[in-house]
Amino acid sequence: MSDSQFGSLCLVLVALLGTAHLLGNLFAYLRQPRVIGEILAGVLLGPSVLGYFFPNISIGNAHQPALGFLFNLGLLLLMFVSGAETKSLFGTSDRRQIAFLGIVGTGLPFLIALVISPLVRQSLLIGTAGQSTALLLVIGIAMAVTSIPVISRILRDLGILDTRFARLILGVAVCEDIFLWAILAIAVSLAKDGSVPTPVIALHTIQILVYSAVGLLLMPKVLRIINASRWNLLAASSPVAYISLVLLAYAALAAALDVSFVFAAFLAGFALGRSGDSLRDAFHTVGNMAFAIFIPIYFALVGSKLDLTKGFSFQIFIWFLAAACIVKLFSAGLGARLAGFPWRDSLNLSVALNARGGPGIVLASVAFEAGIVNRNFYTTLVLVALLTSQLAGAWLDFVLRKDWPLLSSDVSTASSDVPTRVRELEPAA
């Protein structure tokens, strides 16, 4: 990279980071999720606005390799910090509730989508691969998915990431990711080859399950032993370098096993976060840097990938938004009721689980690049991911401002969480 190219990249980053913080603070002042403002910054700087009037200087056209690296790094760090702050998943008291929320709240939308999708005119949605089965699977995933990155950021912004409500939401989202990423891999394979051998499906599913089980159950104990070992000189001399090394190792192994690095980063943070208090200061340092620079850039780049000037059907968008929200809210609410939660708790849980965010956008990108969906449906999937996340953040903030408990079993949740909305790890803007 030449000096002029590096200087141009720095200018792009100044625009991205500055606009993301500006709009993020504005949305926070308006009691809206900060992350939506950061995504809107990318929309303004991308092909939808800036690129429409000045095509030659659109963020979407500049420095793609470097921005692609920063995009993945920001997502990696967001998931890592979210995992580290999630103190406990699948606790004994939560397993039954998570099972109902996961099986009914995820499985039912997926099945409903498979049933009703053949009734839809697939010619309006299908991509260049012309694979109807892959399209049905993508529609099912889009109906069922919950965003770990965005809902984690919203829960963190509201100061409730270390609550039972957050543990339930993230526990369900982790289970969903194990199931839905495997389905997406099958859909992509179908789009590429027309069919995929059963042994390949079985092997990939086993790899994901084993990786998940080891990451959730075994690695926290292993890392606790490694952290306390005398020979671990790196953890003693440079804890930040040590946890960064662990994070990169998790991501590299996930790539080798064809497991989502997004999920791997969450598991790395979860394991290290439960391995003792010796790394507390290092997590604080990494969190400060991530939320000051890399995570806002990630969300701004998410917005910059959205092009509303091409391939947008308002009719398809409205129909799919309504169908996705109705099906997911009903299914998650039903799962919550079957798990024993009262109506108000069920509403809070279902609205939070309706946030599709980052995975919804990743799903759209992967499906579009594989030729499973066309540009119209790609834009619809991205917008639905953004708006459902906005809905979730606005509703949870409203509940907390009303001093209502998110869960009736923990009446102190609302009153104790409201004063802690200022993020511990994120520096003041």
CATH number at residue 396: 1.20.1530.20
Residue 340 predicted with pLDDT over 90: no
Whether 418 has a pLDDT exceeding 50, the answer reads: no
Q: What CA–CA distance (Å, rounded) separates 379 from 365?
A: 9
| Mean pLDDT, range 246-273, rounded to an integer | 83
Mean pLDDT taken over the chain: 80
Q: What are phi and psi of 92, to 5 degrees?
A: -55, -40
pLDDT band at 417 (very low <50, low <70, confident <90, very high): very low
pLDDT at 334: 93
Local confidence band at 41 (pLDDT 50, 70, 90 cut-offs): very high
Contact 33, 158 (CB under 8 A): no
Whether the predicted pLDDT of 424 surpasses 60: no
Count of the separate structural domains present in the chain: 1
The two structure tokens encoding residue 6: 């590096």
Which whole number is the average pLDDT over 315-338? Answer: 91
Residue 108, domain extent: 93-276+314-418
Look at the block and give the residue holding tokens 């010796």: 278
pLDDT attached to residue 23: 94
Residue-wise pLDDT for 5-18, tens only, equals 888 889 889 999 99
What integer pLDDT is reported at residue 427 of this predicted model?
39
User: Which whole-number Å values give the CA distances from 20 to 16, 149, 303, in the listed order?
Assistant: 6, 17, 10
239 vs 82, which has greater pLDDT? Answer: 239
* Span 374-388, average pLDDT: 86
Q: Which of 35-49, 59-73, 333-347 has the lowest mean pLDDT?
A: 59-73
Instruction: Output DSSP code: residue 406.
Output: S
- Cα–Cα dist 173/165, whole Å: 12
Higher local confidence (pLDDT), 89 or 324: 324
Q: How many CA atoms lie within 13 A of 59 on its CB side?
A: 31
End-to-end CA, the chain: 31
Q: Quick one: pLDDT at residue 414?
A: 40
CA 272 to chain centre: 20
For the entire predicted model, the pTM comes to 0.73
Is 323 part of any domain? yes
d(CA 44, CA 59): 9
Confidence check: pLDDT of 89 > 70: no
**Cα angle value 139/372/304 (rounded, 5°):** 85
- Percentages of the chain per state (helix, strand, coil), in multiples of 5: 75, 0, 25
Return the pLDDT at 62.
Answer: 62
Kindly tell me the sign of the dihedral angle through the C-alpha atoms of 294, 421, 346, 94: positive
Token pair listed for 361: 């956008």
Instruction: Count the neighbouring beta carbons within 10 Å of the beta carbon of residue 188.
Output: 22
Q: How far apart are CA 288 and CA 284, in angstroms?
A: 6
Among 48-62, 63-77, 159-173, where is mean pLDDT lowest? 48-62
CA–CA separation, 24 and 28 (whole Å): 6
CA dihedral 227, 228, 234, 240 (to 10 degrees): 50
pLDDT over threshold 90, residue 382: no
Q: Residue 423: pLDDT above 60?
A: no
Q: How confident is the model at residue 177 (pLDDT cuts 50, 70, 90)?
A: low
Q: CA–CA separation, 410 vs 165, rounded Å?
A: 9
pLDDT higher at 418 or 161: 161
Q: Provide mean pLDDT across the span 118-141.
A: 85
Task: Look at residue 31 in the predicted model and tell me its pLDDT.
Answer: 73
- Kindly indicate the confidence band of residue 20, based on its pLDDT and cuts at 50, 70 and 90: very high
Helix axes 295-304, 64-85, angle to 10 degrees: 130
Does position 358 have pLDDT exceeding 90, yes or no? no
DSSP 30-83: TTS-HHHHHHHHHHHHSTTTHHHH-GGG-GGGS-HHHHHHHHHHHHHHHHHHHH
Distance CA 127, CA 311 (A): 12
**pLDDT of 233:** 83
pLDDT in tens, 201-259: 667 667 777 887 888 788 888 888 888 788 888 888 888 999 999 999 998 988 887 77
Residue 34 lies in a domain: no
DSSP state of 407: S
Band (pLDDT 50/70/90 cuts) for residue 328 is very high
Instruction: Please answer whether residues 229 and 221 qualify as being in contact, where contact means their C-beta atoms are separated by less than 8 angstroms.
Output: no
Average pLDDT over residues 379-401: 86
Two tokens at 88? Answer: 């406990």
Here the tokens at position 110 are 């997926």
Q: pLDDT tens for residues 93-105? A: 677 888 888 888 8
Residue 88 lies in a domain: no
Mean pLDDT lowest among 209-213, 345-349, 378-382? 209-213
Asked if residue 297 belongs to a domain, the reply is: no
Q: Is residue 65 part of a domain?
A: no
